[in-house]
Amino acid sequence: MRMILPPDWDSPSPDNDLICEKFVKKVYRAGNDCLRYRMFAPDKGTGAPVPLVLYLHGADAAGDDNDIQLSMHDIGTYLARDDMQRRHPCYILAPQYASTEHWSIQYVKDALWKLVTDTAGSTPDIDTNRIYVYGYSAGGVGTLRLVKEHPGFFAAAVSICGATGTWGLDNLLKIPLWMTHAADDTIVKAVYRTRNDHVPGNLGSNDIYEWYKKRCKEAGAGAAEMRYTEYPAGFMKEHYGVNPHCSWVVLSEPSGNEVWEWMFSKRLGG
């Protein structure tokens, strides 16, 4: 069943379909389970090792067509654009879970992890010190979960309008992480804590960042870099004419390139 979207949801740019065609359709099989995904391969150029980027879609792109995870928004194809590839050639994995699934379901997580590790291990020109993950909404949730469950694997992560539970938070201190969120997002909130509830069951991006600042102050130096960008209430409507939840549109255009430049600058061990 398709997610019912508000009328002010964002739409892809006119040239997005052409970029989608650069992603090859594949199916990864792990035992009795399978995971549909698309894969983008960069021009080989100098032949030097290049990063691998894992992109996780939101609930609005769930399905079994192996298409809408890229064709619905620009956020999944942005790093495959020619100008981005000239600066940062990379492989991109774009899996898709079914409408009855989620990134947190165990067999989906297992297949996803095997897909990433198998791809990294079987593609000679992937730089295994520069594997990144990003996602929006449910994909932002999935991004934070992956970082928690596999600390030390990814060189950096970007969570867009994501959230997470209170378990395993210290693992978020082990990887450079940049979160973005609109303050007036009502679908996935940036803030779940209240005056009377300082440890809510869910933590939005703002909650996580406030916890990070407190944790660093208590523990001193040693935590990995964490950044947070919050778009003020009304920003998404005023500047983009879209629902506040659609904050991924900021990172789907040159104005958001600071985040991507930051991500690609990170590598394991330095």
At 191-244, the pLDDT tens digits run 998 656 555 578 999 999 999 988 877 765 557 799 999 999 999 999 999 999
* CA–CA dist 14, 74 (Å, integer): 10
CA distance 72 to 13: 10
Whether residue 5 is contained in a domain is answered as no
Give the total number of structural domains in the chain.
1
The CATH number given to whatever domain includes residue 108 is 3.40.50.1820
Share of the chain above pLDDT 70, in %: 93
**Tens-digit pLDDT profile for residues 146-188:** 999 999 999 999 999 999 999 999 999 999 999 999 999 999 9
Domain annotation covers residue 77: yes
Give the per-residue pLDDT at 269.
83
Its domain, for residue 171, covers: 16-264
Cα end-to-end span (Å), the chain: 44
In a domain, 107, yes or no: yes
Q: Across all residues in the chain, what is the average pLDDT?
A: 93
Whether residue 103 contacts residue 112, with contact meaning beta carbons closer than 8 Å, is answered with: yes
What contacts 93, CB < 8 A, 6 or more positions away?
Answer: 37, 38, 39, 52, 53, 54, 55, 115, 116, 119
Per-residue pLDDT, averaged over 54-78, amounts to 97
Asked, for residue 3, whether it belongs to a domain, the answer is no
Residue 186 domain flag: yes
